[in-house]
A and B are shown apart, each in its own frame.
Chain A
């Protein structure tokens, strides 16, 4: 006969429902499209600098950018979304992709940080999409991008 430890059930109930883990999201825009990404997948944000074109057959990767002694590939997220980057002073977002960091040009609007609960992100599974979920922030339903898999077909 199976028994439970005395008091276990009562203690669990006494603790109340499990709290959703808070998640820090970075909100930014590309070509006027607002989107979000997990802040821990972002390696930094710099002013956009001149890129070096590279002959390439890899989709949306045809340039590198020099940052000090480092060379980073440039992922053309605006091209993938078929939009034009907006703003005069563009920004460079460093996406911590699983195979190494990439530079991504984003709009000049200063990105903001937002803490949301894990439950507020609804998973989606769009084919060939970098979007892993959506999240309502204030009145907007924003796509949440996986920067760790950006440009990788899953």
Chain B
């Protein structure tokens, strides 16, 4: 579990090869042992956001599989946590942009919500450029971009949405607030 700002991210533990303190000696030399020759990029920047490099608890994560490794800077490492995959919920269907490629799911964590990062995306070579260059998909009601349906290891199929009728004013008859129990409080 790591944090960037107030957002918590879960990264598959077996992809994390090392955790380095930025002030811990020759970082470049340490990264070079993993074959990494470029400076670590803040995880937030992978999403096209601005990352803070000033966190006193920031760490550099070395992630990788087999021979390919990448280094990311995060604001805080929160340690190892066993997560029951049954508790991981798919990203809500309202989110239809590139975030569907970044986030595999979400779960309740402490008093907040943590986001599970897609390992395949995190370890892909074109992850940064794709995050920044891909168009934002406009929300549409009955047709969604392929990404919205791309299966993940926790994705569940979503039912087909009904066709909207934008001009419809099909109001139902209301005689009291029986259908709005919140209004009776």
Hey, which chain B residues are within 8 Å of A21, CB to CB?
A: 171-174
Hey, which chain B residues are within 8 Å of A79, CB to CB?
A: none
Known: A58-B95, A58-B97. A40 touches B179 (CB 8 A): yes
Interface string of B3-47 (1 = CB under 8 A from A): 001111000000000000000000000000000000000001001
Known: A23-B171, A66-B113. A57 touches B97 (CB 8 A): yes
Are B179 and A73 interface neighbours, CB within 8 A? no
From B7, B158, B169, B171, contact of A53 by CB (8 A):
B7
B80: Cβ under 8 A from any A Cβ = no
Interface residues on B, range: 35 or more
Interface string of B117-147 (1 = CB under 8 A from A): 0000000000000000010111111000000
A132: Cβ under 8 A from any B Cβ = yes
Cα-based distance from A13 to B115 in the complex (angstroms): 63
B-contacting residues, A1-56, CB 8 Å: 21-24, 26, 38-40, 42-45, 52-56
B180: Cβ under 8 A from any A Cβ = yes
Closest residue on chain B to residue A41 by CB atoms: B180
Cα-based distance from A61 to B167 in the complex (angstroms): 25
From A42, A57, A149, A151, contact of B180 by CB (8 A):
A42
Known: A55-B47, A58-B95, A64-B92. A43 touches B179 (CB 8 A): no
Are A125 and B167 interface neighbours, CB within 8 A? yes
B83: Cβ under 8 A from any A Cβ = no
- Chain A's nearest CB lies how many Å from the CB of B176? 8
Hey, which chain B residues are within 8 Å of A53, CB to CB?
A: 5-7
Cα-based distance from A64 to B137 in the complex (angstroms): 19
Are A61 and B140 interface neighbours, CB within 8 A? no
Hey, which chain B residues are within 8 Å of A73, CB to CB?
A: 92, 94-95
Known: A69-B108, A71-B108. A54 touches B167 (CB 8 A): no
Cα-based distance from A61 to B94 in the complex (angstroms): 8
From A23, A26, A55, A153, contact of B140 by CB (8 A):
A153
Stretch of B59-67, B69-77, B98-106, B149-157 at the chain-chain interface = B98-106
Hey, which chain A residues are within 8 Å of B138, CB to CB?
A: 59, 153
